Chain A
């Protein structure tokens, strides 16, 4: 079987398109690359959606944490502590166990039956966990950046007569984002790495559709040789990380486009606030 044929058969296997059965014997390098690459679709799906939704929630959380009102600050503090203080591995496991406990027939709310069975599927359940997790980590980053907004900026905003929402929208928030961006880039990279845990603890893979690590494990199980599939996943993830750095670097340039070229901060690793 040629490699093109393999790619046609298995390229989208992880989302259920193509051959129904996985290869059983005579594993070729091409098969390993194709299937593991196909699994990467799931990693990207989890990473992109959790990051996008988490970004907004994280902003709200960061503001709540910075609030003077105790009833806003306390819950935000607790939420962030819970998700930053415990291992994601255990969060996945507990989330799955708890979602399974929901009644199978759905929950009655004012006569409407809300289905719950989809929550135990990885595409929804794991996404929710990742979303809450990244929101907590990003909120901590954003909160730190919010606290670091220079006093001069705020005074200038006051002097121009900006208040409330306008001041936040036009001065505080953009500055906060600029300050937080390098750390946020790190968070994004680590979130994508964290997606490999989805099918590893708790959430079952259905119809042998899983992420890159799931297929790598499949091949390692079948060929009994861990030295080929795992380096392949590693390679894919290095590529994914590079893509992320390029995209986030581009956003970084846009965020700082008002500064003269020589003063623009370059996107650097800020190891203080990686996960």
Chain B
């Protein structure tokens, strides 16, 4: 295969296309679909964690905690996510480096901000400028995950807070009547019982998360959109495989990828809903009980 592709200008038709689709660049493009899936896989639990803390904070008895929880969710709701993505990663990056700078280089005398430069000592750089490129990419990816998690955590907090409200009072009162402490009620009854109420909202959130991933390229991660643009754009003779502007086809492929993701997610989430609804005091649970009886 590789030998056949040694001289692309001599190829034509299907052979050319096969060689074209298996260039190193295309392999990177295919790998970037993995990046997107990885982002989804990592971000979803992290965002859920953020959401959990947000929801618990919004229910806290201590009022400053409550205010912080509510402000967090309300603010993210009011601002387009794209704007968050444009400056949250840079802010996070500089914040981390500043903290490390204070810890690692206490006897540094020069100011951190010199004009528009942001200068921290070498040891505080994240990652160290000497570390291999892969760590820079991992770090960039981690910042992206964090930025996504902050935004989607706020929505998740909304969903979970609503779900906690929806757990029937009677169940919680029964638990109290058995002598459980508030903490025990939360851990043993409230959290296990709220999932069925949270699921519709969380499925919806998952769908939104999938559709937000094309914005990943804004955060400097080389994702599917980056490669689709790069590969699709017109190529002159400076490249081994010259071709006209093919971005339309690449983006159509992305469209199909996202539609497929949606279809699969819908099927999986549908099954999950059915599973969680079993034995619940909801309409779906009741319908299941009747069908079985």
Contact = CB atoms under 8 A, between A and B. Distances in A.
| Whether chain A touches chain B in the assembled complex (some CB pair under 8 Å) | yes
Interface of A: 81-82, 84-90, 93-94, 97-98, 189, 193-194, 196-197, 200, 213, 216-217, 220, 224-227, 230-231, 233-234, 237-238, 241-242, 269-275
Nearest to B81: A193
A130 B204 CA distance: 20
Given A97-B248, A238-B79, A271-B159, A90 B255 contact: yes
A98 B214 contact: no
B155 A271 contact: yes
Interface centre among A216, A238, A271, A272 (most CB of B within 10 A): A271
Contacts of A81: 259, 262
Main secondary structure of the interface of A (DSSP, over half): helix
Contacts of B86: 217, 220, 226, 230
Interface in B69-121: 75, 77-84, 86-87, 90-91, 116
B212 A189 contact: no
Kindly list the 9 A-B residue pairs having the minimum CB-CB distance in the complex, ordered from nearest. Answer: A193-B80, A85-B262, A238-B78, A241-B78, A271-B201, A271-B159, A87-B211, A272-B200, A230-B87
Contact of A237 (B80, B211, B212): B80
Interface residues of B, number: 40
B251 A88 contact: no
A197 B81 CA distance: 10
Given A90-B254, A272-B200, A274-B204, A227 B211 contact: no
Given A85-B258, A88-B211, A241-B78, A94 B159 contact: no
Contact of A213 (B75, B82, B214, B251): B82
B128 interface: no
A86 B255 contact: yes
A233 B83 contact: yes
B247 interface: yes
B87 to A, nearest CB: 4
A234 B79 contact: yes
B205 interface: yes
A89 to B, nearest CB: 4
